[in-house]
Amino acid sequence: MQGHAEHQKRVVGTGVAALKTVYAMITTNCNLNCPHCDIKTDNVDDWNAEAFISQLDANDHNIIFGGEPSLHVDRVEEAAPYCDSISTNLLYLPDHLLKLYNEKLDVATSWNVKRFTPAQYEQWLKNIQRLKRKPLLLITITPDLMNDSSFIDRVQEDFSLIFDSVSFEQLHDGAKTQEYYDAVDSWLCSLYEEWENRKIPLYCNTFHSPWYFNCDNTYTLYPNGSMKYGCPEYQKAEVPESCYSCTMAKTCRPCKLQCHCTAPKKLLTKLGICNL
Is the Cβ–Cβ distance between 88 and 70 less than 8 Å?
A: yes
- pLDDT, averaged per 10 consecutive residues of the chain (276 residues), comes to 42 48 93 74 81 92 94 96 96 96 96 95 97 96 96 97 94 91 96 97 89 85 94 80 78 81 90 75
Q: How far apart are CA 60 and CA 253, in angstroms?
A: 22
What is the secondary structure of 35-84 as a DSSP string? TT--S---SPP---HHHHHHT--TTSEEEEESS-GGG-HHHHHHHGGG-S
Domains and CATH numbers, the chain: 21-270 (3.20.20.70)
pLDDT at position 259 is 86
For residue 2, what pLDDT is reported? 42
| Inter-residue long-range contacts of 80-89, CB under 8 Å, 24+ positions, other chains counted | 80/104, 80/105, 82/24, 82/53, 82/56, 82/57, 82/58, 83/24, 83/56, 85/7, 85/61, 87/2, 87/6, 87/7, 87/63, 87/138, 88/2, 88/64, 89/2, 89/30, 89/31, 89/32, 89/115, 89/124
For residue 180, what is the DSSP state?
H
> How many angstroms separate the CA atoms of 43 and 59, rounded?
30
Cα torsion angle, 74, 72, 255, 136, sign: negative
Q: Are residues 84 and 61 in contact, defined by beta-carbon separation less than 8 angstroms?
A: yes
> For residue 219, which of 57, 27, 36, 14 has the smallest C-alpha distance?
57
pTM: 0.88
Burial class of residue 74 (count of CB atoms within 10 Å of its CB; 0-12, 13-18, 19+): exposed
Is there a contact between 259 and 240 (Cβ–Cβ < 8 Å)? Answer: yes
